Chains A and B, each alone.
Chain A
Amino acid sequence: MGKPTGFLELARVPPARRDRRERLADWNEVYLPQAEQVTREQAARCMDCGVPFCQSGCPLGNFIPDWNDLVYRGRWRAAYERLAATNNFPEMTGRLCPAPCEAACVLAIDRTAAPVTIEHIEHEIIERAFAEGWVEPRPPASESGRRVAIVGSGPAGLAAAQQLRRAGHRVTVYDADERPGGMLRYGIPDFKMEKWPLERRLAQLEAEGIDFRCGVAIGDAIGWAELRAEHDALLLAVGARRARDLDVPGRELDGVVMAMDYLCAQNRAIAGAALPPGLDAAGKRVIILGGGDTGSDCHGTALRQGAVDVRQIQLWPAPPSERAPDNPWPEWPLVFRTSSSQEEGGERDFAILTRRLRGEGGRVRALEAARIDMAIGPDGRKRPIEQPGGEVVVPADLVVLAIGFAGPELGTAAAELGVALDPRGNVAVGPDFATAADGVFAAGDAMRGASLIVWAIADGRGAARAIERYLTARPA
């Protein structure tokens, strides 16, 4: 039950980050491991609340108080088992999750906001579990003889694959890219998560008997309908890679690139491919449009590539430093945050509306924009209005567009399978992850829109349960 007075006696100690200069010199992860004693003390701060808001804040429903207590008591193996009960890939959420659990922690209610370091404790549990050899392949005891195809090998697809495989089904995961992992491999920079945790996990999945078919674009080599026909069920976990674009004059100029292309190229470069010069920020003045996590990843990438100047610009004004009154705990706090990339250098600018990109010789040279204020429109929604005389011109050699995603790249899938889309262009599903087509399910960003990895895993697990029910209801 943790230590009742732990939170009173012990301050929050988040994991340390490596020195900024050292970080910028390589692509390795930013965070340093923590001494076991420190982690156990941090776990002791958990109050084992009667109503654990952390757990409801976590899309996976991780048994956070349980494993905090076990870590506090040094029962790491039991903690790992509790953690693995709800989360297939804690090593990923332990690195990449923005930790809504910590925002919902009861110790985050007051201004001092010193929640339990839940995410880091999760990270320590899973890394210890791997190191101790507790994470073993758990192939099914018996085969059901049913076949399930999963398209997309991001976290949603992988989580579903593992759950379904463990239930005894034959699972084949298809991916158009050459290696499995989706965003985990191609979207996330190494400084946030290196590639070895992914490989390590993939090895377990393969050992459990999951069949990976990479470099296979469904719709080309194999038809969607054909794929469906060959399996008892089909899961669409193709993500939401369709990026939102910027509709301003000058968008067509060289040096204006999409964030995903930019991040992906760097990831491939680390894996051994050549970095296309157009996607190398070395010696350039870089503008990143968009204030989200993707923008932030681009920010860190540009700094490491050797940009002379990095400036991250977002349309919305900077959020307040503390929760606004209408944003009370345990809601996700809309407050000003500084990511590890942002603390490494560069500048940030807020409330700026891009009007056009100015170029020279077909290459981008500057961004023209206006400072804006927020006003409430007649429809009651906030909208930007330009400040009089607020024009700005920012010189730039590389403009990275990180302004969001517009939905899944489905190709002919919808038509071929008879899958319906929702108004935002995502795959429409019912509460049981079922699409309009019989036996076709969807999970993760493909049905939710771009979101967190933790949601992807949760969806993958949920879809696996739904598919299991679907299969059980239809005997072979």
Chain B
Amino acid sequence: MHPGGLHDPSLDRDACGVGFVAHIGGNKSREILEQALEVLRRLSHRAATGADPETGDGAGILVQVPHRFFKREGLRLGFDMPHRRGYGVGMVFLPPDPVRRRACERVLEEAIAEEGQRLLGWRDVPIDPAQIGPVARAVLPVIRQVYVARRRLVPTAFERRLYVIRKLTENRVRERAAEIDPDGRFHVASLSAETIVYKGLLLPARLGAFYRDLQDPDLVTAIAVVHSRFSTNTFPTWDLAQPLRFIAHNGEINTVQGNRNWTNARKSQLSSGKFGGRIDRLFPIIVPGKSDSAQFDNMLELLHLGGRGLPHAMMMMIPEAWEGNPDLEPERIDFYRYAATLMEPWDGPAAIVFSDGHLVGATLDRNGLRPARYLVTTDDRVILASEAGVLDVPPHMVRARGRLSPGRMFLIDTASGRIVDDEEVKREVSGRFPYGRWLRDNVFELPDVPAAEDPPTPSADELDRQQRCFGYTLEDLRLLLAPMAEDGKEPVGSMGTDTPVAALSDQAPNLFAYFHQLFAQVTNPPIDPIRERLVMTLDTNLGPDGNTFEETPEQCHSLHIGAPVMNNHQLHAIACVTDGVFDPTRLSLLYPASGDPDALAAAVDRLCAAAVEAVDEGRNILILSDRGVDRDHAPIPSLLGLSAVQQHLTRLGIRMQAGLVVETAEAREVHDVALLLGFGAAAVNPYLALDTARALAAAGQLGALDPDEAERRTIAAIVDGLLKVMSKMGISTMQSYRGAQIFEAVGLDRDLIDRHFTGTPSRLGGIGLAELHREVAERHARGFGPEQTGADLPAGGHYQWRPDGERHKWNPATIAALQAAVSLDSAARFAEYSRLVDDEDGALCTLRGLLELDDGGDAAVPPVSIDEVEPVAAIVRRFATGAMSFGSISAEAHETLAIAMNRLGGKSNSGEGGEEERRYQPDDNGDSRRSAIKQVASGRFGVTANYLVNADELQIKIAQGAKPGEGGQLPGHKIDERIARVRHSTPGVTLVSPPPHHDIYSIEDLKQLVHDLQSVNPAARISVKLVSQVGVGTVAAGVAKSGAGGVVIAGYEGGTGASPLSSLKHAGLPWELGLAETQQVLVANRLRDRVRVQVDGGLRTGRDVVVAALLGAEEFGMATASLIATGCVMLRKCHLNTCSVGIATQDPALRARFTGQPEQVVAFFLFVAEEVRRLMARLGFRRFEDMVGRVDRLRPRAGAARHWKAARLDLSPLLAAPDGEVRSCPGDGQRVALDQHIDHELVRRAEEAIDGGPPVDIELPVRNIDRSVGALLSGEVARQHGSHGLPDDTIRVRLTGSAGQGFGAFLAAGITLELEGEANDCVGKGLSGGRVIVRPSREATFAPEENVIVGNTCLYGATAGEAFLCGLAGERFAVRNSGARAVVEGVGDHGCEYMTGGVVVVLGPTGRNFAAGMSGGLAYVFEREHTFVKRCNLGTVELASVREESELWLLYALIEDHVRATASPLGNRILDNWEMMLGHFVKVLPLDYKRVLAERRAQRRATTARPRLAIVPGTRP
């Protein structure tokens, strides 16, 4: 990778397949090993390969040390091999250069000697290099095993000593890396007397052949953990393959940066006699530059060797969702509370398999976002893996099938020979000490703190001066603070942001504005903070942290705070504590106001010194405060002060001796508070924001609100917003969010970052303390300068254009000029428009404004005549309108765009809202209203097989520029009958698109969805829409490896129909950065030719297109500009349904005002294309293709360097040319290879039936590698028969075995898939009218209703059809179902979430949070324990018994169908005792749905006298 580019390797992500095979009784055998290797082979599709198809991303296996084998080998090599456990084996990767290799070996040998152990010798590990690809071979290390004999130690201490030896060796090799290991080949894969790891950069299926040892008959084990890796990067590395030393991880640790920081911050606290007290020499505990999984393993290892059992350590690092969970035993809650005072959780989606050689187990994080299925055989084997069906086990040998549920642990103790269930493991850990009593004695609650006198309320004049001094604007008061105080919620806005990034602003933005929030995309999922609130917590502790190694009562001294935002009263009370264990002190953030540019730097140094002094004095709560500004004193930006102190104390290793609290006037929106917490504060008191809210209330400007209530609501709004910010990144707990630094800065100087914001990405360098000081001074002068008395606050103008406010790209002049140009079809007017937009000489606004096109002067390519440049008609094919759903905008506007793009040969994008089928037929005049791009987003509205086949491109929307990491919402008032029909929902009921796609929690899930979609429509290009942020290039590489043919990089300027204001402004980055990074990573990884790259988010002119092309884009989306061409005037009222120009509204009166014409859109794109041609001629490009990726033709614009801030930016990372020949994608992008798809056989056999012939019955075996079964067949049916499909049961397919993921995805009507065996995740995803039946094998001996039959997220986004599942299902059953009917015998957490239609019958247990956000359809739950009410989320539904006769019949008939389809014993029992059983059914009825049904009934009564049965929703079409 080019060192000067934008790619940051620390952001590479991986995800994967994991599993283990073990014998419960500990019997070692070859069989276990061979079966584990088979598991690995069967997980191959969860791994990936880069440009070199022979080089996998990595795979490996962990087994027990095979003594017989090593004894033999040792004897052969002449070692004196001790008895079992008397020696440790190290698996060591070494540099190939013999001298360096030997040097590394010597370092290890010296450490062995130093630690008093004895080196037995080295063994060359026999390998077969033919098994790995050329890329892996090029970096192949020398692989040797080292044997270390135990001396004078007991076995457990020996393990610890081996750890010390390894750490010392690693540290010393790293220190001498330049000399002995310049390429970083040295790596100790394992060094233990218990386990050994064989791993490498290879394909999972080749592992066994590569390592000859693994074929040896003497290599036997009772435990084998395997892992196959899917990495977003392809920079080849051997060491990152898994298993690691204790774990194999599928998922991602979102908070790893914070976890690493905190571990360093604890340095002074960490001590353990077990390591000889000299723990310092082991630092860094967490090795920098490794993957999140590797860092997790580092920490787990330390905790484990420090004396905690693996389950105990696991419970500390990945606690289940214990907060507010009444189902848990109090002792367990106490344990978690206590553990929380010792360390913060490692947060993120994770399925972790772990083993120490005796125990083997697995655990899931609190969200349960990764799948883990297990099977226990009658001969005492356990097979656990990311998928079911990874080993063929004859049905009669299956004792039980299960899955891990969220937060649960599954443990096998091979020493005692049994499975230990979750309850027992955890009870044992929680019972070790009286944690509850310790907590009661040592943890204080806020109300325990004695009240102090409140700080005085500022006078009106003081308030005004402070507001000015801290940069408040009228807009802040009117659009942010007043609505927060009034509604207790963050305000919502629409359209995108089009103001300058802070680094280019002349309005003296505060420091917060320089930082952008990062968000989860693909490699980990965001969380739904509303519907899945129960997994999130804002709980936090304030005070010094304990020694992580010790478990004593004193370790948990702390103050517990429920939420990290304090009011003035609470802060003051804490500050005034004078006795007890807390010793708070205030450190002032003020410094003398002066013109000296170094004043701020000096002030920060003084602050840090004062903090150290305070800690040294034993102060354990530091309150950083900017109270008291006056004419002579200006405030250090609170974020700077806080982060400087945090980093300084961390570097000194004394950070955990005190808690940090910030008392600041500066913070006033969610983003500000999130930053302070994200950089290490435990709590924030935004006193001026609260004073302002109180003053507004006192002045009667908030209706009848009193000041106290206004304050409460303001805090509530901030807290609510914090949940959103955390969830955006997929982080569940405030404790792990704190200090995790999940932000990217734009334009902050690298020295400033390294010093005070260490580890935060800031890629363009630039603004330092001197510039920040100047902006502090400017704001200070607003408050205390000469002429300000009596005037209003500055206008602001960030959210709405103001003549004296912030600059906007869309302003009255540009909008008017564009509309005049397209309505008059005037090239002259368009030129005027372009000039207004492109000219940033006096008004910098965008990163591209800092660049100019380099025509090279005389030296470079001469310009060409414009006649030689490719025609406009060819260029417009590269253009697309942005994704805007039918629903968010009116039918008129939506279809105008589609017609225009079809006339041009460009592409319109359906957005996430379905499409009316009439649009698939051309108009009489030849126009087509069909959107070429069909979007698939998280809500899956109207995503049917028919929708998917009517597309040229299928776009998976992972994130949206305006609000990445968040879901969408279409307010009920925009949903009329017509919208509801297309979306399969209920009119008037708000529709939610959840933040995550529930079938994409990781990169391999994305690969699966790509596979599903490609199966339905093999001809379409599958594209994936991402949003610009640091690391997006890596994700794009993962997308390319997933098989998608296109990637969209959206900038944060992109528009939206509704978004919280702080997301709109502060999440995501400009597209220039994301696009350049993507190009650099794809080119360097030789993946660029696989995918077409599209960019969008604020493109407006031909120049924008050319700059984007030079940076690496070949297609271009322009959404806002095309709306403006049809009449949008940026009211920014899309969320209110009051669009006065008839675009973003469904109100018929307003829609009638729409005057847009396709001609206007056509004119816009033609003008842009013509401009592109002119610029191409100037630059000497005849073909567009030649221009793509030519960053050498861009250079920094001289004019921009005159700006005092812009001049400091370093654009070279943006303009770095990646090394790689292929800069573009010549064709249309790749397609997923489907030649192995099982459906080809189905299509062949069903051909006649599809053509109208007689029904057909097909029988086939199926395996877990057969994925998306039925999808390709359904595409075929939909193409020929539209959404109605075929008559019921026309194609009947009987399968036996274990089906792969996506079984029955998008299954079309007329097809029945009947599976005897089991299935994996996403059964019946997007079900489009077909029928799916899954039942256990007839030979199975277990009770079906107690065993897991299908995986997670079944029936996600189903629109019609039926599913009968004889057994238990996983989490998120029937999420967003909008029409299918299903019977299942038990479900996991979050069942029927956001369901909007259809009927679900659950004949058994449900997990927590059933029916969260459910707004339509019905669910019936059979339960005898009467505990369902506790597990149902009653936010939008009510529970009732089943009474109406029509309903009884519906229920009875469904169960009858279920029994007929599956022979369910449970179903049979229920039907046999129907009268008695009926009382155990609970009906779940959404309130909205009930209301709508009642309204319809009333309407019908009014219009017809004919009595009818109650409506049965979700009937098949």
* Chain A contacts to B: CB under 8 angstroms: 1, 4-5, 7-8, 47-53, 55-57, 61, 63, 65-66, 75, 81-82, 85, 104, 106-107, 109-110, 138, 141, 167, 325-326, 328-331
How many angstroms between the C-alpha atoms of A107 and B1150 in the bound complex?
A: 12
Which secondary structure dominates chain A's binding surface? loop
The answer to whether A55 touches B824 (Cβ under 8 A) is: no
A325 to chain B, nearest CB (A): 6
Cβ contacts A to B, 30 pairs, < 8 Å = A4-B1133, A47-B1138, A48-B800, A49-B800, A50-B495, A50-B799, A50-B1131, A50-B1132, A51-B808, A51-B811, A51-B815, A52-B802, A55-B801, A56-B803, A56-B811, A56-B812, A56-B813, A57-B812, A63-B795, A66-B478, A81-B792, A85-B791, A106-B1131, A109-B1127, A109-B1141, A141-B789, A167-B787, A328-B823, A328-B824, A329-B819
Q: Which residues of B contact A66 (CB under 8 A)?
A: 474, 478
Instruction: State whether A55 touches B1149 (Cβ < 8 A).
Output: no
Which residues from B are CB-within-8-Å of A4?
A: 1133, 1136, 1138
Q: Mark B1197-1218, 1 if CB is under 8 A from A, else 0.
A: 0000000000000000000000
By a CB distance below 8 angstroms, the chain A residues around B1253 are: none
User: With A8-B1150, A85-B792 as given contacts, are A51 and B1138 in contact (CB-CB < 8 Å)?
Assistant: no
In the bound complex, residues from chain B placing their C-beta under 8 Å from that of A52 are 800-802
Is the CB of B1130 closer than 8 A to any CB of chain A? yes
Contact present for B787 and A51 (CB under 8 Å): no
Q: Which of B1037-1090 contact A (CB under 8 A)?
A: none
Which chain B residue shows the least CB distance to A112? B1153
Question: In the complex, what distance in Å separates the CA atom of A328 from the CA atom of B1150?
Answer: 20
Extra A-B contacts (12), CB below 8 Å, given A56-B812, A81-B792: A8-B1138, A8-B1147, A49-B1130, A50-B801, A53-B815, A61-B803, A75-B701, A85-B792, A106-B1131, A110-B1155, A138-B790, A328-B816
Q: CB-nearest residue of chain B relative to A81? A: B792
For residue A134, give the distance in angstroms from its CB to the closest CB of chain B. Answer: 13
Q: Which of A51, A55, A65, A106 has the most CB of B within 10 A?
A: A51
Given A49-B1131, A50-B801, A51-B815; A326-B824 close (CB under 8 Å): yes
Chain A contacts of B784 at CB under 8 A?
Answer: none
**Whole-angstrom distance between the alpha carbons of A57 and B1138 in the complex?**
23
Residues of B contacting A: mostly? loop
Residues in B neighbouring A65, C-beta threshold 8 A: 800
B823–A51 CB distance below 8 A:
no
Flag if B1153 contacts A51 (CB, 8 Å).
Answer: no
Residues of A within 8 A of B1155 (CB): 110
Q: Which residues of A contact B757 (CB under 8 A)?
A: none
| Minimum Cβ distance to chain B for residue A431 (Å) | 11
Interface centre among B495, B811, B1131, by most chain A C-beta atoms within 10 angstroms, is: B1131
Is B810's beta carbon under 8 Å from chain A?
yes
B599 at the interface (CB under 8 A from A): no
Q: Which residues of B contact A5 (CB under 8 A)?
A: 1138
B residues adjacent to A (C-beta < 8 A): 474, 478, 495, 701, 787, 789-792, 795, 799-804, 808, 810-813, 815-816, 819-820, 823-824, 1127, 1129-1133, 1136, 1138, 1140-1141, 1147, 1149-1150, 1153, 1155
Q: Is the CB of A106 within 8 A of B1140?
A: yes
Q: Are A330 and B803 in contact (CB under 8 A)?
A: no
For the complex, give the distance between the alpha carbons of A66 and B473 in Å: 13
A331 touches B1140 (CB 8 A): no
Bound: A53/B1132 CA distance, A? 13
**Bound state CA distance, A8 and B1140, in angstroms?**
9
Q: What's the minimum C-beta distance from B1367 to chain A, rounded to whole angstroms? A: 51
Within the complex, what minimum Cβ distance (angstroms) separates A173 from chain B?
A: 22
A75 to B701, CA, bound (A): 9
Are A51 and B701 closer than 8 Å at their CB atoms?
no
**Smallest distance from the beta carbon of B696 to chain A beta carbons, Å?**
12
- Chain B residues lying within 8 Å of A56, measured Cβ to Cβ, are 801, 803, 811-813
What's the nearest-Cβ distance from chain B to residue A98, in Å?
18
The 3 closest A-B pairs by CB, nearest first: A50-B1132, A56-B812, A61-B803
Q: Roughly how many angstroms separate A53 CA and B1131 CA in the complex, as a whole number?
A: 10
Q: How far is the CA of A5 from the CA of B1138 in the complex (A)?
A: 7
Report the minimum CB–CB distance from B1015 to chain A (whole Å).
43
Q: Tell me the complex Cα distance, A5–B1132, Å.
A: 14
Query: A390: shortest Cβ distance to chain B, in Å?
Result: 33
Q: How far is the CB of A136 from chain B (nearest CB, A)?
A: 11
A6 closest partner in B (C-beta): B1138
Assembled-state Cα–Cα distance A51/B498 (Å): 12
Q: In the complex where A138-B790, A328-B819, A328-B823 touch, is A106 in contact with B800 (Cβ < 8 A)? A: no
Nearest-neighbor residue (CB-CB) of B1131 within chain A: A49
Q: In the complex, which residues of chain A have a beta carbon less than 8 angstroms from the beta carbon of B1150?
A: 8
Q: Is the CB of B812 within 8 A of A330?
A: yes
Contact present for B1141 and A325 (CB under 8 Å): no
Most buried by A among B803, B815, B824: B803
Chain A: minimal CB distance from B1143 (Å): 12
> Are A330 and B816 in touch, CB under 8 angstroms?
yes
Residues in chain B near residue A7, CB distance under 8 A: 1138, 1140
B1129 nearest in chain A by CB position: A106
A47 and B1131 CA atoms in complex are apart in Å by 8
Instruction: Please name all residues of chain B whose beta carbon is closer than 8 Å to the beta carbon of A75 when the two chains form the complex.
Output: 701
CB-nearest residue of chain B to A5: B1138
Residues of A within 8 A of B1133 (CB): 4, 47, 49-50
CB distance B791 to A51 under 8 Å? no
Q: Which residues of A contact B815 (CB under 8 A)?
A: 51, 53
**Does A82 contact B792, Cβ atoms closer than 8 Å?**
yes
Which residues in A have their C-beta under 8 angstroms from that of B787?
Answer: 167
Residue of A nearest to B803 (CB): A61
Instruction: Across the interface, name the chain A residue whose C-beta is closest to B808.
Output: A51
Across the interface, do B1129 and A49 meet the contact criterion of CB distance under 8 Å?
Answer: yes
- Chain B's closest residue to A141 (CB) is B789
User: In the complex, what's the smallest C-beta–C-beta distance from A157 to chain B, in angstroms?
Assistant: 22
Chain B residue with Cβ nearest A82: B792
On whether the beta carbons of B789 and A325 are closer than 8 Å, the reply is: no
A365 to B205 Cα, complex, angstroms: 111
| Nearest CB in chain A: distance from B1133 CB, A | 7
Asked if residues A331 and B816 are in contact (CB atoms below 8 Å), the reply is yes
Contact pick for A61, options B791, B804, B1130, CB 8 Å? B804
CA A104 – CA B1140 in complex, angstroms?
14
Which single residue of chain A is at the shortest CB-CB distance from B810?
A51
The answer to whether A51 touches B790 (Cβ under 8 A) is no
User: Which of B789, B791, B800, B819 is A50 in contact with, Cβ under 8 Å?
Assistant: B800
A66 to B801, CA, bound (A): 12
Q: From residue B940, how far is it (CB to closest CB) to chain A in Å?
A: 30
B1132 smallest CB distance to A (angstroms)? 3
Determine the chain A residues whose CB is within 8 A of the CB of B802 once the complex forms: 52, 55, 63
Q: Is A51 within 8 A of B1129, CB to CB?
A: yes
- Which residues of the partner chain B approach A107 to less than 8 Å between Cβ atoms? 1140
B823 touches A325 (CB 8 A): yes
CA distance A63 to B796 in the complex (A): 12
Complex alpha-carbon distance, A106 and B801, angstroms: 14
Smallest CB gap from B494: residue in A: A50
In the complex, the answer to whether B1140 meets A51 with C-beta atoms within 8 Å is no
Look across to chain A and name the residue whose beta carbon is closest to the beta carbon of B493: A50
Given the complex of chains A and B, what is the CA–CA distance between A185 and B847 in angstroms? Answer: 53
A106 to B795, CA, bound (A): 21
Please, how many angstroms separate the alpha-carbon atoms of A40 and B792 in the complex? 23
Chain B minimum-CB-distance residue to A138: B790
Identify A51's interface contact among B1127, B1130, B1149, CB under 8 A: B1130
Return B46 CB to nearest CB of chain A, in Å: 46
CB distance from A349 to the nearest CB of B (A): 31
Q: How far is the CB of B255 from chain A (nearest CB, A)?
A: 36
Closest chain A residue to B804, Cβ basis? A61
CB-defined contacts of A104 to chain B, threshold 8 Å: 812
Q: How far is the CB of A141 from chain B (nearest CB, A)?
A: 7
Query: A residues within 8 A CB of B799?
Result: 50
A140, chain B: closest CB distance, angstroms: 10
Chain B residue contacts of A331, Cβ below 8 A? 816, 820
Complex Cα gap A167–B788 (Å): 10
Report the bound CA distance from A82 to B1130 in whole Å.
23
The smallest C-beta distance from A119 to any residue of chain B, in angstroms, reads 18
